[in-house]
Structure 1
């Protein structure tokens, strides 16, 4: 299978790559030399960059923010936890996934995973909070986004 980089992967493509269960958004790329550390494997900080890159795309695709409008909410990670499972090396193809597992009025839980060769290599779970554009208070998740969380991500409403 030819792997398309920087293009959302379908459910079928995710299945073929061993990603189970498939996630609402998944995109592939390849490890670059500049992402390696002195031990010749991917630097831990790079994983966070990969997760952030897809998280920004996810937020854009679900309609929370275009990151270019003055009335868009500020998107803040309140807390997060990363679990490194297996190292990554030069030229490995990988897929980063993203999906919402639960949401409240102004915050939601995201689960992100990193897969390579049919094996989960890392996982990042975080809680994202929406703030008003000036950062003075919290902002409610729009109804259309809440519906998408339920219908597509199969997320649970927690109130």
Structure 2
């Protein structure tokens, strides 16, 4: 199977790549030379960049923010996160980054993010994100009802 890069993968495509439980958002890419460290495996900081790209895309797709700088889009900040590096990755290795909401509260939500390659999880990142009003006041902003409904209907998330 040819893996389409930078394009959301369907549940069937995810399964065919060894992802046990398809996620709401999954996209494939390939490890580049510039992402390697002196030991010739992916530098740990690159995983965080891959996860960040997925969080931005996820936020756009579920309607939290367009990142366009217009309107009253919330500021989205990571309150906490836990990363687990499970197996190294090397140059030219195809991988799939996934993202989905697992739980939410009034102003925050938890994302589970994973990097898969060759049918195995290589890295995971669980993080709690908080919505803040865009005015810079630091006040928390409630998650819009439509987004909460999407968390439940599409991601299978549960209110905490």
| TM-score bin (small chain) | over 0.9
TM-score after normalising by structure 1 = 0.98
1:148 aligns to what? 150
1:13 aligns to what? 13
1:121 aligns to what? 122
Q: Following the alignment from structure 1 to structure 2, what is the Cα–Cα distance between the partners of residues 135 and 38? A: 40
Aligned residue runs from structure 1 range 1-159, under 5 A? 1-68=1-68, 69-136=70-137, 137-158=139-160
CA RMSD of aligned residues (A): 0.6
Query: Could you tell me how far 1:20 is from its partner in structure 2?
Result: 1.3
Query: Could you tell me how far 1:135 is from its partner in structure 2?
Result: 2.8
Aligned residues: 158
Q: Following the alignment from structure 1 to structure 2, what is the Cα–Cα distance between the partners of residues 78 and 86? A: 26
TM-score after normalising by structure 2 = 0.98
- Structure 2, gaps ≥5 residues long: none
Q: Following the alignment from structure 1 to structure 2, what is the Cα–Cα distance between the partners of residues 94 and 70? A: 35
Q: Deviation per CA, 1:59-117, whole angstroms, max 9, x where unpaired?
A: 00000000112411000000001000000000000000000000000000000000000
Q: Following the alignment from structure 2 to structure 1, what is the Cα–Cα distance between the partners of residues 135 and 43? A: 34
In the TM superposition, structure 1's runs of 4+ consecutive aligned residues that sit over 4 Å from their partners are none
- Structure 1, gaps ≥5 residues long: none
After TM superposition, the structure 1 stretch with the greater mean CA deviation from structure 2, 79-88 or 65-74, is 65-74
Q: Deviation per CA, 1:9-56, whole angstroms, max 9, x where unpaired?
A: 000000000101110000000000000000000000000000000110
